[in-house]
Amino acid sequence: MNALRRQSASSSPSGGISPFRVNRRRLLQTASAGLAYSTLGAYGLDLVHRKPRRVGLIGAGWYGKSDLWRLVQVTPVDIVAICDPDRNMVAEAQAIAKERQKSGETPRGYADYRDMLKQHELDIVIVGSPDHWHALHAIAAIEAGADVYLQKPVSVDVIESEAVLAAARKHGRVVQIGTQRKSTPHLIDAKQRVIDAGLLGAIGHVDMCCYFHMRANGNPPVQPVPDFLDYDLWTGPAPLRPYDGLPHLRWWRTFMEYSNGIVGDMCVHMLDTVNWMLGLRWPKRITSSGGIYVQKDGVSNITDTQTATFEFDDFNAVWQHRTWGVPTDPDYPWGLFIHGEKGVLKASTMRADFVPHDRKVEPIHFECVFERDEYPEDVTEERIELNAAPATRRHMLDFLAAIDQRSRPVADIEEGHISSASCILANIAMEVGRALTYDPKRHEVVGDAAATELLRRTYREPWQRPEPSDFAR
């Protein structure tokens, strides 16, 4: 199993392979890409001749649809059902699915995920709902017998995340988390050529950051709920806020009721990448501080400024975000910096650079892979992240391989849980104002009853929160 996982992590997602198109020039650009073709190429090409997998989508917003269209690009699927409490979102996704899937069929539309899962036997469920729904949607799909592609973070609280992990293990389902940096070609290449090759020497510190102006602050008026949106169902287990406009397109992310702020949205990607590149697991201690220091004129309640420190055995990994001002390094407004005695590796979704300490050593630049020619539909897709599309396709291929082999994918639920829970713990550390050490076996913050209480959010009735003990084996 370990050998298979290492091969999957270092090889399968990194090649320019598609079951429909093989670009040999792209495949030969990096050694890792060539290796990927040799290990997964036959598998990928064989997907063309397979019976289409039955797929359902829960959460038909921007990224739910984006993940679904990437899956359609790499394997035959039968999109049989699409679910969202917003009737207009469902209709839009249905229309695009009819155009994109080979059968030309229109998927059934649902408002309630429970109805969808009851009516269909699905092979795969993609969960692209807002964060406060992730755990319930993922667990329901797992219990219905589907393998799950779950957007990050795994949950909005630590115990929810523990429950998703427990459910996946009890039912033997494959759960791939949407931390697709592990499937990003230039980052795989940088890991192999810099980290694995020992070019950094001893690692002494890691910085991670996000300086995007992505905090959707504002003061919209309370207004009637439109008839096409079931707002009570959209809210689900979260507190029911007064309705002040459609929550889609980042508005919900500006509230802690539904999310874990910028740390839960952006730090989880970079911390997960650091954990993968350096072979890390749980931090020993987590501290954090921050608040709303600049953008005080709106109703947003997530921090606009925050620092979190994740302490490991030999170094600290420090996160910082500001949703105002300018980036410290304009080439890396969202990225990570792994500092070693022999140099630094800078990495982001767009590029990576090895900067050696010794001027006699050549620096190495890694450029993002784009696939506009291979997938021309990328260019016309609304709001697509062109830099992320190749990574997500490889992430889907890795997911499919794990399903067929009943193995662990590169972004397995356990690793996604560690990264997600660590970020949630950073927010709790900021709230209580002290360092935290989490015990994943006992599901508690060591020696801190008050912080342990915050590992669980209160659910709004009649929703019932899941517990890891529900899935004891």
Query: pLDDT confidence of 13, banded at 50, 70, 90?
Result: very low
- Bridge partners (DSSP) of residue 321 are 210, 306
Q: Of 50 and 377, which is predicted with more confidence? A: 377
Average of pLDDT values for 273-296? 98
C-alpha distances in Å from residue 336, one per residue of 73, 198, 316, 324, 448: 30, 18, 13, 19, 31
Rounded CA gap, 74 and 268, in Å?
26
| Gyration radius of the chain's alpha carbons | 21
Tell me the pLDDT tens digit for each residue of 55-82.
Answer: 999 999 999 999 999 999 999 999 999 9
Are the CB atoms for 332 and 320 separated by under 8 Å? no
**Whether the predicted pLDDT of 19 surpasses 50:** no
**CB-side neighbour CA atoms (13 Å) of 115:** 11
The mean pLDDT value for 145-174 works out to 98
Averaged pLDDT for residues 434-446:
98
Is pLDDT at 34 greater than 50 in this prediction?
no
Give me the phi and psi of 298, to 5 degrees please: -125, -175
Q: How many CA atoms lie within 13 A of 139 on its CB side?
A: 22
- pLDDT value at residue 363: 98
Dist CA 175 CA 413 (whole Å): 5
Q: Is 126:64 a contact under the CB 8 Å cutoff?
A: yes
Closest CA to 272 of 150, 410, 416: 416
Residue 146 and residue 84: Cα distance in Å, rounded?
18
When pLDDT is averaged across residues 450-454 and rounded to a whole number, the result is 98
Q: How far, rounded to the nearest angstrom, does the alpha carbon of residue 279 sit from its chain's CA centroid?
A: 18
- For the residues 183-198, what does the mean pLDDT come to? 98
Instruction: Give the lowest-confidence range in 21-30, 311-320, 376-385, 403-412.
Output: 21-30
Within 8 A by CB and 6+ apart from 435, the residues are 285, 286, 287, 429
Sign of the torsion formed by the C-alpha atoms of 373, 374, 377 and 380: negative
Burial 364-373 (b: 16+ CB within 10 A, else e): bebebbebee
**What CA–CA distance (Å, rounded) separates 348 from 398?**
21
| pLDDT value at 22 more than 80 | no
- How many whole angstroms separate alpha carbon 470 and alpha carbon 167? 8
Domain ranges of the chain: 2-183+373-412
Q: What is the pLDDT of residue 10?
A: 32
| Contact status, residue 107 vs residue 81, Cβ threshold 8 Å | yes
- Following DSSP, what letter does each residue of 134-178 receive, concatenated? HHHHHHHHHHTT-EEEEPSSS-SSHHHHHHHHHHHHHHT--EEES
What is the mean predicted confidence (pLDDT) over 236-242?
98
Residue type for 211, please? Y
Closest by Cα among 56, 86, 65, 126 to 232: 86
21 Rama sector, left if φ>0, alpha if ψ -120 to 50, beta otherwise: beta
Higher-pLDDT residue of 322, 249: 322
Query: Which band of pLDDT confidence, cut at 50, 70 and 90, is reported for residue 15?
Result: very low
The region of weakest confidence among 16-25, 245-254, 264-273, 386-395 is 16-25
- Cβ atoms within 10 A of the Cβ of 281, count? 11
Q: Which H helix or E strand runs over 100?
A: helix 87-100
* Per-residue pLDDT, 47: 55
Considering only 10-19, 63-72, 207-216, 325-334, which range has the smallest mean pLDDT? 10-19
pTM: 0.91
Task: Provide the mean pLDDT of the chain.
Answer: 91
Q: Please check the confidence at residue 442 and state whether its pLDDT lies above 50.
A: yes
Residue 180: per-residue pLDDT: 97
Task: Please name the fold of domain 2-183+373-412.
Answer: Rossmann fold (3.40.50)
Q: With the C-alpha atoms ordered 346, 352, 354, 355, is the resulting torsion angle positive or negative?
A: negative
User: 306 near 320, Cβ under 8 Å?
Assistant: yes
CB 124 within 8 A of CB 56: yes
Q: How confident is the model at residue 3 (pLDDT cuts 50, 70, 90)?
A: very low
| pLDDT for residue 249 | 84
Which parts of 232-342 are beta strand (E)?
285-291, 305-311, 316-322, 334-340
pLDDT reported for residue 473: 72
pLDDT of residue 472: 87
Arithmetic mean of pLDDT, 196-223: 97
Given a cut of 60, whether residue 30 has pLDDT beyond it is no
